[in-house]
Amino acid sequence: MKVILILSILLNALPALCQSSTLLNPEQQKWLSKANRHEKNGWTYLHIEGSPKERGFQHGYLMSDEIKEAIRVLSIEWNYQTSMDWSWLVQKGSTILTPKVDPENLAEINGIVEGMKIKGIVTSQDELVSLNGYIELMSYWWPSVKDSIHSNSVIRPKESCSSFIATGKMTSDGKIVLGHNTMDSYQNPLPNIILDILPENGHRILMQGVSGFIHSETDFFITDAGLVGSETTIGGFYPFDPKGEPEFSRMRHATQYASSIDEWCNMMKKNNNGGYANAWLIGDINTNEIARLELGLKYTALEKKKDGYFIGSNVAENLKILRMETKIDETNIKNSSIARRVRWKQLMKQYEGRINLKLAEAFEADHFDTWLSKINPGGRTLCAHWDIDQQLYGKDIPYDPSGTLDGKVVDATMAREMSFVARWGSACGIPFNGTKFLNAHPQFDWLTGMLKDRPTQPWTIFKAGETK
Protein backbone atom coordinates (compact mmCIF):
# COMPACT_ATOMS: atom_id res chain seq x y z
CA MET A 1 0.00 0.00 0.00
CA LYS A 2 2.80 2.41 0.87
CA VAL A 3 4.44 1.82 -2.52
CA ILE A 4 1.14 2.45 -4.33
CA LEU A 5 0.56 5.62 -2.29
CA ILE A 6 4.04 6.94 -3.08
CA LEU A 7 3.60 6.22 -6.80
CA SER A 8 0.25 8.00 -6.76
CA ILE A 9 1.78 11.07 -5.13
CA LEU A 10 4.63 11.14 -7.66
CA LEU A 11 2.26 10.81 -10.62
CA ASN A 12 0.09 13.65 -9.35
CA ALA A 13 3.18 15.80 -8.87
CA LEU A 14 4.60 15.19 -12.35
CA PRO A 15 2.97 18.23 -14.02
CA ALA A 16 4.40 20.55 -11.39
CA LEU A 17 7.81 18.89 -11.60
CA CYS A 18 7.84 19.25 -15.38
CA GLN A 19 6.88 22.89 -15.14
CA SER A 20 9.60 23.59 -12.59
CA SER A 21 12.18 22.26 -15.05
CA THR A 22 11.72 25.43 -17.10
CA LEU A 23 12.67 27.87 -14.35
CA LEU A 24 12.97 31.57 -15.04
CA ASN A 25 16.56 32.73 -15.24
CA PRO A 26 17.64 35.78 -13.16
CA GLU A 27 17.26 38.16 -16.12
CA GLN A 28 13.70 37.00 -16.82
CA GLN A 29 12.83 37.25 -13.13
CA LYS A 30 14.04 40.85 -13.19
CA TRP A 31 11.89 41.59 -16.23
CA LEU A 32 8.78 40.16 -14.58
CA SER A 33 9.39 42.09 -11.37
CA LYS A 34 8.62 45.29 -13.31
CA ALA A 35 5.33 44.02 -14.76
CA ASN A 36 1.95 43.35 -13.20
CA ARG A 37 -1.44 41.94 -14.05
CA HIS A 38 -4.71 42.29 -12.16
CA GLU A 39 -8.43 41.89 -12.81
CA LYS A 40 -10.93 44.72 -12.46
CA ASN A 41 -14.67 44.67 -13.31
CA GLY A 42 -14.35 42.43 -16.35
CA TRP A 43 -11.07 43.89 -17.56
CA THR A 44 -7.53 42.57 -17.24
CA TYR A 45 -5.06 45.35 -16.47
CA LEU A 46 -1.58 44.58 -17.81
CA HIS A 47 1.45 46.76 -17.14
CA ILE A 48 4.60 46.07 -19.16
CA GLU A 49 7.78 48.11 -19.48
CA GLY A 50 11.38 48.21 -20.68
CA SER A 51 13.00 47.15 -23.93
CA PRO A 52 10.96 45.52 -26.70
CA LYS A 53 12.09 42.03 -25.68
CA GLU A 54 11.33 42.72 -21.99
CA ARG A 55 7.86 44.09 -22.75
CA GLY A 56 7.07 41.17 -24.99
CA PHE A 57 8.31 38.59 -22.49
CA GLN A 58 6.21 40.14 -19.73
CA HIS A 59 3.14 40.12 -21.99
CA GLY A 60 3.65 36.56 -23.20
CA TYR A 61 4.38 35.14 -19.76
CA LEU A 62 1.54 36.89 -17.92
CA MET A 63 -1.09 36.41 -20.66
CA SER A 64 -0.01 33.03 -22.09
CA ASP A 65 -3.31 31.22 -21.54
CA GLU A 66 -5.37 34.07 -22.98
CA ILE A 67 -3.13 34.33 -26.06
CA LYS A 68 -3.43 30.57 -26.61
CA GLU A 69 -7.22 30.92 -26.41
CA ALA A 70 -7.20 33.84 -28.88
CA ILE A 71 -5.28 31.74 -31.39
CA ARG A 72 -7.63 28.79 -30.85
CA VAL A 73 -10.75 30.88 -31.44
CA LEU A 74 -9.45 32.69 -34.52
CA SER A 75 -8.15 29.47 -36.07
CA ILE A 76 -11.63 27.94 -35.77
CA GLU A 77 -13.29 31.06 -37.19
CA TRP A 78 -10.80 31.23 -40.08
CA ASN A 79 -11.36 27.59 -40.99
CA TYR A 80 -15.15 27.90 -40.74
CA GLN A 81 -15.33 31.05 -42.85
CA THR A 82 -12.88 29.97 -45.56
CA SER A 83 -12.38 26.16 -45.25
CA MET A 84 -8.62 26.87 -45.25
CA ASP A 85 -6.28 25.71 -42.48
CA TRP A 86 -4.87 28.13 -39.90
CA SER A 87 -1.34 26.96 -40.69
CA TRP A 88 -1.91 28.00 -44.31
CA LEU A 89 -2.90 31.51 -43.18
CA VAL A 90 0.15 31.76 -40.92
CA GLN A 91 2.37 30.80 -43.85
CA LYS A 92 0.78 33.51 -45.97
CA GLY A 93 1.19 35.98 -43.12
CA SER A 94 4.87 35.12 -42.95
CA THR A 95 5.35 36.39 -46.50
CA ILE A 96 2.78 39.21 -46.61
CA LEU A 97 3.19 40.76 -43.17
CA THR A 98 6.29 39.60 -41.26
CA PRO A 99 9.00 41.09 -43.55
CA LYS A 100 7.36 44.51 -43.32
CA VAL A 101 6.81 44.74 -39.57
CA ASP A 102 8.79 47.46 -37.78
CA PRO A 103 11.93 45.86 -36.19
CA GLU A 104 11.04 47.08 -32.69
CA ASN A 105 7.54 45.65 -33.00
CA LEU A 106 8.97 42.37 -34.26
CA ALA A 107 11.32 42.22 -31.27
CA GLU A 108 8.37 42.70 -28.92
CA ILE A 109 6.45 39.93 -30.69
CA ASN A 110 9.43 37.59 -30.34
CA GLY A 111 9.51 38.46 -26.65
CA ILE A 112 5.89 37.30 -26.39
CA VAL A 113 6.87 34.03 -28.06
CA GLU A 114 9.65 33.53 -25.51
CA GLY A 115 7.41 34.37 -22.55
CA MET A 116 4.78 31.89 -23.70
CA LYS A 117 7.43 29.21 -24.23
CA ILE A 118 8.51 29.48 -20.58
CA LYS A 119 4.88 28.80 -19.64
CA GLY A 120 4.89 25.70 -21.82
CA ILE A 121 2.88 27.15 -24.74
CA VAL A 122 4.54 26.91 -28.14
CA THR A 123 3.86 29.50 -30.83
CA SER A 124 6.00 31.34 -33.38
CA GLN A 125 6.89 34.78 -34.63
CA ASP A 126 4.83 34.28 -37.79
CA GLU A 127 1.80 33.00 -35.88
CA LEU A 128 1.76 36.06 -33.62
CA VAL A 129 2.30 38.40 -36.56
CA SER A 130 -0.70 36.76 -38.24
CA LEU A 131 -2.66 37.07 -34.99
CA ASN A 132 -1.88 40.80 -34.81
CA GLY A 133 -2.69 41.23 -38.51
CA TYR A 134 -5.73 38.95 -38.54
CA ILE A 135 -8.18 41.68 -39.57
CA GLU A 136 -5.92 42.71 -42.44
CA LEU A 137 -5.53 39.13 -43.66
CA MET A 138 -9.15 38.08 -43.15
CA SER A 139 -11.03 41.18 -44.28
CA TYR A 140 -8.67 42.84 -46.78
CA TRP A 141 -6.13 40.40 -48.23
CA TRP A 142 -8.36 37.30 -48.38
CA PRO A 143 -11.24 38.94 -50.32
CA SER A 144 -8.70 40.10 -52.92
CA VAL A 145 -7.36 36.59 -53.60
CA LYS A 146 -10.09 34.11 -52.64
CA ASP A 147 -11.58 33.90 -56.15
CA SER A 148 -8.22 32.85 -57.57
CA ILE A 149 -8.26 29.71 -55.42
CA HIS A 150 -11.90 28.92 -56.20
CA SER A 151 -13.31 29.72 -52.78
CA ASN A 152 -16.97 30.62 -52.35
CA SER A 153 -16.48 31.91 -48.82
CA VAL A 154 -18.34 35.09 -47.94
CA ILE A 155 -16.67 37.53 -45.60
CA ARG A 156 -19.34 39.86 -44.33
CA PRO A 157 -18.43 43.56 -44.36
CA LYS A 158 -17.13 44.65 -40.97
CA GLU A 159 -19.34 47.31 -39.40
CA SER A 160 -17.75 48.17 -36.12
CA CYS A 161 -17.30 50.93 -33.57
CA SER A 162 -19.12 54.14 -32.79
CA SER A 163 -16.96 57.10 -31.84
CA PHE A 164 -16.92 60.88 -31.51
CA ILE A 165 -14.49 63.59 -30.50
CA ALA A 166 -15.49 67.15 -29.61
CA THR A 167 -13.85 70.37 -28.47
CA GLY A 168 -14.38 74.12 -28.17
CA LYS A 169 -18.01 75.23 -28.32
CA MET A 170 -19.22 71.63 -28.25
CA THR A 171 -18.06 70.72 -24.73
CA SER A 172 -18.99 72.02 -21.30
CA ASP A 173 -15.47 73.26 -20.51
CA GLY A 174 -14.29 73.98 -24.06
CA LYS A 175 -11.78 71.13 -23.90
CA ILE A 176 -11.55 67.77 -25.64
CA VAL A 177 -13.96 64.90 -24.92
CA LEU A 178 -13.59 61.53 -26.71
CA GLY A 179 -15.89 58.50 -26.65
CA HIS A 180 -15.69 55.10 -28.35
CA ASN A 181 -17.27 51.67 -28.22
CA THR A 182 -16.16 48.49 -29.94
CA MET A 183 -18.52 46.48 -32.15
CA ASP A 184 -17.46 43.00 -33.15
CA SER A 185 -18.52 39.37 -33.45
CA TYR A 186 -18.95 37.92 -29.99
CA GLN A 187 -16.81 34.86 -30.66
CA ASN A 188 -13.68 36.84 -31.47
CA PRO A 189 -10.91 37.24 -28.86
CA LEU A 190 -12.21 39.66 -26.27
CA PRO A 191 -10.65 43.16 -26.28
CA ASN A 192 -10.77 43.23 -22.48
CA ILE A 193 -7.17 44.24 -21.83
CA ILE A 194 -6.21 47.62 -20.39
CA LEU A 195 -2.60 47.79 -21.55
CA ASP A 196 -0.22 50.17 -19.79
CA ILE A 197 3.06 50.32 -21.74
CA LEU A 198 6.12 52.15 -20.42
CA PRO A 199 8.64 51.69 -23.24
CA GLU A 200 12.38 52.14 -23.07
CA ASN A 201 12.04 54.75 -25.84
CA GLY A 202 9.08 56.85 -26.87
CA HIS A 203 5.88 57.78 -25.06
CA ARG A 204 3.95 55.91 -22.42
CA ILE A 205 0.70 54.43 -23.73
CA LEU A 206 -2.53 53.50 -21.97
CA MET A 207 -4.86 51.71 -24.36
CA GLN A 208 -7.48 49.06 -24.77
CA GLY A 209 -6.14 45.88 -26.31
CA VAL A 210 -6.38 42.15 -26.97
CA SER A 211 -4.25 39.35 -25.52
CA GLY A 212 -1.13 38.91 -27.66
CA PHE A 213 -1.66 42.12 -29.62
CA ILE A 214 1.07 44.79 -29.54
CA HIS A 215 -1.39 47.37 -30.90
CA SER A 216 -4.84 48.35 -29.66
CA GLU A 217 -6.88 46.79 -32.52
CA THR A 218 -10.14 48.24 -31.21
CA ASP A 219 -8.72 51.22 -31.14
CA PHE A 220 -8.70 53.52 -28.09
CA PHE A 221 -5.56 55.09 -26.59
CA ILE A 222 -3.96 57.98 -24.72
CA THR A 223 -0.26 58.83 -24.49
CA ASP A 224 1.91 60.97 -22.25
CA ALA A 225 2.53 63.21 -25.27
CA GLY A 226 -1.02 64.49 -24.75
CA LEU A 227 -2.56 62.59 -27.65
CA VAL A 228 -5.91 60.79 -27.40
CA GLY A 229 -7.31 58.67 -30.19
CA SER A 230 -9.85 56.19 -31.47
CA GLU A 231 -10.94 54.76 -34.79
CA THR A 232 -13.95 53.47 -36.65
CA THR A 233 -13.48 51.12 -39.59
CA ILE A 234 -14.29 52.52 -43.03
CA GLY A 235 -17.16 50.26 -44.11
CA GLY A 236 -17.21 48.51 -47.48
CA PHE A 237 -13.53 49.23 -48.11
CA TYR A 238 -11.78 46.90 -50.57
CA PRO A 239 -8.30 47.94 -51.88
CA PHE A 240 -5.27 46.21 -50.34
CA ASP A 241 -1.55 46.48 -51.15
CA PRO A 242 0.48 43.50 -49.86
CA LYS A 243 3.69 45.48 -50.44
CA GLY A 244 2.82 48.00 -47.70
CA GLU A 245 3.52 47.88 -43.97
CA PRO A 246 0.82 46.26 -41.83
CA GLU A 247 -1.61 48.65 -40.17
CA PHE A 248 -0.98 47.17 -36.72
CA SER A 249 2.75 47.89 -36.98
CA ARG A 250 2.23 51.49 -38.13
CA MET A 251 -0.39 52.14 -35.45
CA ARG A 252 1.84 50.96 -32.64
CA HIS A 253 4.88 52.89 -33.91
CA ALA A 254 2.89 56.10 -34.38
CA THR A 255 1.26 55.88 -30.97
CA GLN A 256 4.57 55.24 -29.21
CA TYR A 257 6.65 57.88 -31.00
CA ALA A 258 4.41 60.70 -32.23
CA SER A 259 4.33 63.95 -30.23
CA SER A 260 1.70 65.75 -32.28
CA ILE A 261 -1.34 65.07 -34.46
CA ASP A 262 0.62 65.73 -37.65
CA GLU A 263 3.44 63.41 -36.63
CA TRP A 264 0.99 60.64 -35.77
CA CYS A 265 -0.86 60.98 -39.07
CA ASN A 266 2.33 61.10 -41.14
CA MET A 267 3.59 57.90 -39.51
CA MET A 268 0.28 56.19 -40.27
CA LYS A 269 0.33 57.28 -43.91
CA LYS A 270 3.92 56.11 -44.55
CA ASN A 271 4.02 52.75 -46.38
CA ASN A 272 0.24 52.37 -45.97
CA ASN A 273 -1.10 49.01 -47.19
CA GLY A 274 -4.83 49.81 -47.04
CA GLY A 275 -5.35 47.06 -44.46
CA TYR A 276 -7.82 47.78 -41.67
CA ALA A 277 -8.76 51.08 -43.29
CA ASN A 278 -10.01 53.46 -40.60
CA ALA A 279 -11.26 56.92 -39.86
CA TRP A 280 -9.03 57.99 -36.97
CA LEU A 281 -10.31 60.56 -34.47
CA ILE A 282 -7.31 62.19 -32.79
CA GLY A 283 -7.01 64.95 -30.20
CA ASP A 284 -4.11 66.90 -28.70
CA ILE A 285 -4.88 68.12 -25.19
CA ASN A 286 -1.90 70.52 -25.35
CA THR A 287 -3.40 72.52 -28.22
CA ASN A 288 -7.08 71.59 -27.79
CA GLU A 289 -7.09 70.59 -31.46
CA ILE A 290 -8.94 67.58 -32.84
CA ALA A 291 -8.55 65.82 -36.18
CA ARG A 292 -10.04 63.11 -38.36
CA LEU A 293 -7.68 61.13 -40.55
CA GLU A 294 -9.51 58.98 -43.09
CA LEU A 295 -6.87 56.59 -44.31
CA GLY A 296 -7.82 54.75 -47.47
CA LEU A 297 -5.18 53.33 -49.80
CA LYS A 298 -4.78 55.73 -52.73
CA TYR A 299 -6.76 58.46 -51.03
CA THR A 300 -6.45 60.04 -47.60
CA ALA A 301 -8.16 62.97 -45.95
CA LEU A 302 -7.01 64.93 -42.89
CA GLU A 303 -9.27 67.54 -41.27
CA LYS A 304 -8.37 69.53 -38.15
CA LYS A 305 -10.23 72.03 -35.99
CA LYS A 306 -10.18 73.65 -32.54
CA ASP A 307 -13.92 74.22 -32.42
CA GLY A 308 -16.45 71.51 -33.30
CA TYR A 309 -16.57 67.73 -33.56
CA PHE A 310 -15.85 64.68 -35.69
CA ILE A 311 -17.85 61.46 -35.68
CA GLY A 312 -17.21 57.90 -36.78
CA SER A 313 -19.75 55.20 -37.65
CA ASN A 314 -18.04 53.24 -40.45
CA VAL A 315 -18.95 55.59 -43.31
CA ALA A 316 -16.24 57.40 -45.27
CA GLU A 317 -16.85 61.16 -45.20
CA ASN A 318 -14.31 61.97 -47.90
CA LEU A 319 -15.95 61.64 -51.33
CA LYS A 320 -12.84 60.28 -53.05
CA ILE A 321 -12.54 57.46 -50.53
CA LEU A 322 -16.31 56.89 -50.44
CA ARG A 323 -16.72 56.68 -54.24
CA MET A 324 -13.37 55.23 -55.31
CA GLU A 325 -12.48 52.81 -52.52
CA THR A 326 -15.72 51.67 -50.85
CA LYS A 327 -18.89 49.88 -51.85
CA ILE A 328 -21.45 51.55 -49.63
CA ASP A 329 -24.60 53.62 -50.07
CA GLU A 330 -24.29 56.50 -47.62
CA THR A 331 -28.03 57.31 -47.84
CA ASN A 332 -29.51 53.90 -46.94
CA ILE A 333 -30.60 54.48 -43.36
CA LYS A 334 -31.69 50.85 -43.07
CA ASN A 335 -28.00 50.01 -42.69
CA SER A 336 -26.28 50.26 -39.32
CA SER A 337 -23.49 52.62 -40.30
CA ILE A 338 -25.84 55.13 -41.91
CA ALA A 339 -28.37 55.02 -39.08
CA ARG A 340 -25.60 55.55 -36.53
CA ARG A 341 -24.14 58.41 -38.57
CA VAL A 342 -27.51 60.18 -38.48
CA ARG A 343 -27.80 59.58 -34.74
CA TRP A 344 -24.36 61.05 -34.05
CA LYS A 345 -25.33 64.24 -35.85
CA GLN A 346 -28.57 64.45 -33.87
CA LEU A 347 -26.73 64.08 -30.57
CA MET A 348 -24.04 66.62 -31.46
CA LYS A 349 -26.70 69.18 -32.39
CA GLN A 350 -28.86 68.46 -29.33
CA TYR A 351 -26.04 68.67 -26.77
CA GLU A 352 -23.83 71.37 -28.27
CA GLY A 353 -22.02 73.21 -25.47
CA ARG A 354 -22.84 70.59 -22.83
CA ILE A 355 -20.82 67.52 -23.77
CA ASN A 356 -18.86 66.02 -20.86
CA LEU A 357 -17.84 62.57 -19.59
CA LYS A 358 -21.31 61.59 -18.36
CA LEU A 359 -22.96 62.55 -21.63
CA ALA A 360 -20.22 60.71 -23.51
CA GLU A 361 -21.07 57.55 -21.53
CA ALA A 362 -24.75 58.04 -22.43
CA PHE A 363 -23.93 58.56 -26.12
CA GLU A 364 -21.96 55.31 -26.32
CA ALA A 365 -24.89 53.49 -24.65
CA ASP A 366 -27.56 55.09 -26.87
CA HIS A 367 -30.40 52.88 -28.22
CA PHE A 368 -32.28 55.27 -30.53
CA ASP A 369 -32.89 53.70 -33.95
CA THR A 370 -33.06 56.48 -36.54
CA TRP A 371 -34.62 54.18 -39.17
CA LEU A 372 -37.55 53.31 -36.90
CA SER A 373 -37.45 56.68 -35.07
CA LYS A 374 -37.74 55.11 -31.64
CA ILE A 375 -35.74 53.54 -28.80
CA ASN A 376 -35.03 50.05 -30.11
CA PRO A 377 -31.83 48.24 -29.08
CA GLY A 378 -30.51 46.49 -32.16
CA GLY A 379 -27.97 46.57 -34.95
CA ARG A 380 -28.59 50.15 -36.00
CA THR A 381 -28.07 51.81 -32.61
CA LEU A 382 -24.84 53.38 -31.35
CA CYS A 383 -24.75 50.69 -28.68
CA ALA A 384 -25.42 47.78 -31.02
CA HIS A 385 -27.11 44.46 -30.25
CA TRP A 386 -27.41 42.36 -33.41
CA ASP A 387 -27.94 39.29 -31.23
CA ILE A 388 -31.40 40.46 -30.10
CA ASP A 389 -32.35 41.97 -33.44
CA GLN A 390 -34.53 40.14 -35.95
CA GLN A 391 -32.71 42.27 -38.51
CA LEU A 392 -35.63 42.60 -40.84
CA TYR A 393 -33.86 45.66 -42.18
CA GLY A 394 -30.19 45.82 -43.19
CA LYS A 395 -28.28 42.58 -42.56
CA ASP A 396 -29.61 39.36 -44.03
CA ILE A 397 -28.83 37.23 -40.98
CA PRO A 398 -31.23 37.53 -38.02
CA TYR A 399 -29.88 37.34 -34.47
CA ASP A 400 -26.27 37.60 -35.60
CA PRO A 401 -24.07 37.14 -32.48
CA SER A 402 -22.33 40.48 -32.67
CA GLY A 403 -22.64 43.96 -31.27
CA THR A 404 -21.09 46.39 -28.81
CA LEU A 405 -18.52 44.93 -26.42
CA ASP A 406 -17.62 47.93 -24.26
CA GLY A 407 -17.56 51.69 -23.82
CA LYS A 408 -14.65 54.08 -23.16
CA VAL A 409 -14.63 57.85 -22.56
CA VAL A 410 -11.95 60.39 -21.70
CA ASP A 411 -11.70 64.16 -21.35
CA ALA A 412 -8.69 66.46 -21.32
CA THR A 413 -8.39 66.41 -17.52
CA MET A 414 -8.28 62.61 -17.36
CA ALA A 415 -5.96 62.37 -20.36
CA ARG A 416 -3.47 64.69 -18.66
CA GLU A 417 -3.43 62.23 -15.75
CA MET A 418 -3.10 59.25 -18.14
CA SER A 419 -6.49 57.82 -17.20
CA PHE A 420 -9.88 57.07 -18.76
CA VAL A 421 -13.25 55.51 -17.89
CA ALA A 422 -14.31 52.19 -19.40
CA ARG A 423 -17.20 49.75 -19.16
CA TRP A 424 -16.81 46.11 -20.07
CA GLY A 425 -19.67 44.00 -21.48
CA SER A 426 -21.70 46.54 -23.39
CA ALA A 427 -21.79 50.29 -23.08
CA CYS A 428 -25.40 50.14 -21.90
CA GLY A 429 -24.94 47.27 -19.45
CA ILE A 430 -27.20 44.68 -21.14
CA PRO A 431 -25.59 41.31 -20.31
CA PHE A 432 -24.87 38.50 -22.78
CA ASN A 433 -25.04 34.79 -21.93
CA GLY A 434 -23.43 32.52 -24.51
CA THR A 435 -25.18 29.31 -23.45
CA LYS A 436 -28.63 30.89 -23.46
CA PHE A 437 -27.95 32.44 -26.86
CA LEU A 438 -26.94 29.11 -28.44
CA ASN A 439 -29.93 27.33 -26.90
CA ALA A 440 -32.22 29.94 -28.46
CA HIS A 441 -30.41 30.08 -31.81
CA PRO A 442 -29.00 26.61 -32.66
CA GLN A 443 -28.16 27.75 -36.21
CA PHE A 444 -24.97 29.14 -34.68
CA ASP A 445 -23.92 25.87 -33.02
CA TRP A 446 -20.48 26.07 -34.65
CA LEU A 447 -19.74 28.73 -32.03
CA THR A 448 -20.12 26.28 -29.13
CA GLY A 449 -17.21 26.74 -26.75
CA MET A 450 -16.32 30.12 -28.27
CA LEU A 451 -18.97 32.53 -27.00
CA LYS A 452 -17.96 34.03 -23.67
CA ASP A 453 -20.47 35.44 -21.16
CA ARG A 454 -20.37 39.19 -20.56
CA PRO A 455 -22.32 40.08 -17.40
CA THR A 456 -23.19 43.67 -16.55
CA GLN A 457 -20.20 45.64 -15.28
CA PRO A 458 -19.91 49.22 -13.96
CA TRP A 459 -18.09 52.14 -15.55
CA THR A 460 -14.57 51.95 -14.07
CA ILE A 461 -11.61 54.35 -13.93
CA PHE A 462 -8.23 53.10 -15.18
CA LYS A 463 -4.93 54.90 -14.85
CA ALA A 464 -1.35 54.37 -15.99
CA GLY A 465 0.83 52.94 -13.25
CA GLU A 466 -1.83 50.93 -11.46
CA THR A 467 -0.60 48.12 -9.22
CA LYS A 468 -2.35 45.10 -7.77
* Confidence class for position 384, pLDDT limits 50, 70, 90: very high
Nearby residues of 344 by Cβ (< 8 Å), 6 or more positions away: 162, 164, 311, 313, 382
Ramachandran area for residue 225 (φ above 0: left; ψ -120 to 50: alpha; else beta) = alpha
- Distance in angstroms (rounded) separating the CA atoms of residues 176 and 410: 8
pLDDT tens, 244-274?
999 999 999 999 999 999 999 999 999 999 9
Quick one: pLDDT band at residue 15, thresholds 50, 70, 90? very low
pLDDT tens digits, one per residue of 285-317 = 999 999 999 999 999 999 999 999 999 999 999
Structural domains of the chain, with CATH: 162-463 (3.60.60.20)
Query: For 400-449, what is each residue's pLDDT tens digit?
Result: 999 999 999 999 999 999 999 999 999 999 999 999 999 999 999 999 99
CA 107, 254, 420, 211 dihedral sign is negative
* Residue 393 scores a pLDDT above 70: no
- Distance from C-alpha of 467 to C-alpha of 405, rounded to nearest angstrom: 25
Q: Which pTM was predicted?
A: 0.94
d(CA 91, CA 162): 34
